[in-house]
Amino acid sequence: AAAAAAAAAAAAAYPTADELTNLVCKRIPGPNLFDATPENLVSYCCGSWTLVQRDIENVLTPALAENVLALLSSLGVQIAFRLREELVNYKKLLLHVHQQGLTVELLLRQLSSFFHDERVRCAGGFSRPSERRGKITDAAMQCKGRCDATYDARLIGKLLCNVPRHPKTRRASELQELPRSLRSWRSAAALLESLEVTDDIVYRETQTASWHATATSTLASQPWPDHIREFVRLVLICRGADKALRIHDELLSVMFNLELWISRAEKALDHLSAQPSPEQVAQQLEETSEQAPDGEECRGTMASAIQCRRHFNLLVGSIPPLREAWFWLRKIEEAAALGATRLFLAGDGRGTPIVRYGTRPEAPPVFCVPYGFQGGSAPEDQRFWQVVQEYTPQMHDILANSGWPASICDRTGGSSQQQRRLQQQMEQNRKQAGIRTLAHVPA
């Protein structure tokens, strides 16, 4: 009798399938949860733990709702929501950091093009870049590596936030192919292959532990009626909890693969550091020019040294941004797990935008970052701006006194109209970047 009474009490705690359907229709605003499909899921409000609480508490009995919410919290749903909110703000910030890098890269590429033919002729029939061109070229290639890395970091953030809402929708191929899908990874891989360096790095295709899989299996094993389990599953899918759990899984995979990339890039950098620099090669060739007068061979040796320097600069520029991205992704996961204060906060400057964030000075984008975040103010970024500020006035002085270099005039046909167009474009880029020439600096 006692067992029968307990069974009857348990059955009374669960609404029937028809009662559940009616309660969902009456008490949950918006589209019906039972009508959700991968195609119409965008119509459902999502992205907050409070939405999950509302749906569960409005439909289930208080005792059952309390048990369900406690179980979901123990499965990491609240952590996953906090993690997602941090990543959304971090992603927006990375876009701004990447755009900052593109601005200085454009200015460095202009300087590199302007001083492209500034070379020093050496004995043996070859030439090497001048000291000024060498500094500009090194900075330009390092900045390119930095921009490749910030592009990858921004892409990773965007891919994490854009994980499909429905579990049956296929995940992005870039996430499936990490780290090989990274732009900067391909550069390091090609370099190791060209150096004939054995790649002993072990790849991992899948996560050994999954927050999403654990939550799914745990819910499926609960002693609830089938329609109750289905209701809870649909709440998680429609309100973004299922997506948030999969974002957490993807983040763990991303952090592992970023470590993998950094290990490989540092390995390639060690091999490049052992190679002689173009200056050392030039000195060796000049010392042996009498014994090896073959100018073609000297030029080939110098070209190889310059190519190694190019790869070296790309890696030097790309490693720090991705190392910082790995560090802050790890901090984001730790903060979400502890329920700590928000690390990143990003707001879009609105108005009538010409670019993504708008151009109204009274409505700029707002970014709040934690102490220690470098972004576009790292030491290497400061060094890039120093190169721009040092050599841009020199370029303007040459333009004012001697006009355009012959190499640029030859490529553009040398017409005055084309030269004016080039000068106007460079002046516009200078103003957009906030670069002042010596003539604009007050005494």
Are 88 and 251 in contact by the 8 Å Cβ rule? The answer is no
Tokens of 440: 């604009």
311 falls in which pLDDT band (50, 70, 90)? confident
Give the tokens for residue 48. 């907050």
Residue 262 makes CB contacts below 8 A (sequence gap 6+) with 319, 322, 323, 326
Closest CA to 74 of 236, 211, 266: 211
Lowest-pLDDT range of 163-167, 184-188, 267-271, 410-414: 410-414
Residue percentage of the chain with pLDDT more than 90:
46
Rg value, the chain, Cα: 29
Sign of CA dihedral 32, 37, 39, 42: positive
- Lookup: tokens for 3: 């067992």
Contacts of 428 (CB under 8 A, 6+ apart): none
What is the DSSP code string of 353-422? -SSTT---TTS--EEE--TT--GGGSHHHHHHHHHHHHHHHHHHHHHHHH-S-HHHHHHHTS-HHHHHHH
pLDDT, residue 437, reads 38
Q: What is the pTM of this model?
A: 0.81
Give the distance, in angstroms, between the CA of residue 79 and the centroid of all CA atoms in the same chain: 22
CA–CA dist 148, 383 (Å, integer) = 18
Give the residue carrying structure tokens 């050994």: 208
| Structure-token pair, residue 91 | 């992603």
Q: Which residue has the higher pLDDT, 3 or 273?
A: 273
Least confident residue range of 157-171, 274-288, 343-357 = 343-357
Residue 190 has pLDDT above 50, yes or no: yes
pLDDT at res. 163: 94
* pLDDT for residue 283: 72
- Tokens representing 269 are 């950098």
pLDDT tens-digit map of 77-122: 999 999 999 999 999 999 889 988 999 999 999 999 888 888 777 7
Q: How far apart are CA 218 and CA 210, in angstroms?
A: 12
Read off the pLDDT of residues 262-271 as tens digits, 9 standing for 90 and up.
Answer: 888 888 888 8
Report residue 440's pLDDT band, with 50, 70 and 90 as the boundaries: very low
> Which contiguous run of DSSP H or E holds residue 127?
strand 126-129
Residue 366 pairs in a beta bridge with: 347
Return the amino acid letter for 18: D
- Find out whether 330 and 87 touch, Cβ atoms under 8 Å: no
The torsion region of residue 437 among left (phi > 0), alpha (psi -120 to 50) and beta comes to beta
Helices 62-74, 211-220: crossing angle, 10 deg rounding: 150
pLDDT tens digits, one per residue of 191-229: 666 665 555 554 444 455 799 999 999 999 999 999 999
DSSP-assigned beta bridge partners for residue 80: none
Q: Which residues contact 226 (CB under 8 A, 6 or more apart)?
A: none
Residues in the chain: 443
Q: What integer pLDDT is reported at residue 361 of this predicted model?
A: 55
d(CA 304, CA 277): 10
Which segment of 20-24, 117-121, 256-260, 422-426 scores lowest on mean pLDDT?
A: 422-426
CB contact at 8 A, 118 and 188: no
Q: Among candidates 236, 216, 187, which has minimal Cα distance to 52?
A: 236
Over the chain, what is the mean pLDDT? 81
Cα separation, 386 vs 378, whole angstroms: 13
Give backbone dihedrals phi and psi of 413, rounded to 5 degrees, phi first.
Answer: 90, -10
Whether 133 and 116 have beta carbons less than 8 Å apart is answered as yes
Residue type, 128: R
